[in-house]
Amino acid sequence: MKCIYCGCTESRVVDSRPTEEGTIRRRRECEGCKRRFTTYEKIEMLPILVVKKDNRREQFDATKVRNGILRACEKRPVSLAEIEGLVSKIETDVYQQMDQEITTESIGRMVMEGLRDLDEVAYVRFASVYRQFKDVESFMEELQQILDMRTPKEA
């Protein structure tokens, strides 16, 4: 690491700690001038490309996932912490896959699975947009699946 004061390339780490943003903050001391400076290190993530329905590709953006989930959970008793937890889980799952590309269908399935456990109404809202139901019958089939998955004590 090059010293910002004297340009010396030799320094030692005095203190190191993680930050809330996921970076690592390091206090360094220059071996040449003995002055201290701070550096921040961030793990470089390889970009994941999302393959759209029309085969276009764009970089994965967790903000888009968050916005979709927020829209589905609007006016529902779902806390922001639960939403952020779901977004974080989906983002982790996307980056842990072995491929550099993922389809919008796969991401949509992840969101639907998470919403099903979080809030049934939010799940149905998201599913109605994601699955683009063509008629009432297909919508009713989805609702019936939710009812069938419930345990007797929930009904």
- Give the pLDDT band (50/70/90) at residue 16: very high
pLDDT at 42: 81
Window from 17-21, 55-59, 138-142 with minimum mean pLDDT? 138-142
Of the segments 33-47, 79-93, 114-128, which one has the largest average pLDDT value?
79-93
48 has which bridge partners?
A: none
pLDDT at site 61: 94
DSSP secondary structure of 81-148? HHHHHHHHHHHHHHHHSS-SEEEHHHHHHHHHHHHHHH-HHHHHHHHHHHTT--SHHHHHHHHHHHHH
Residue-level pLDDT at 151? 56
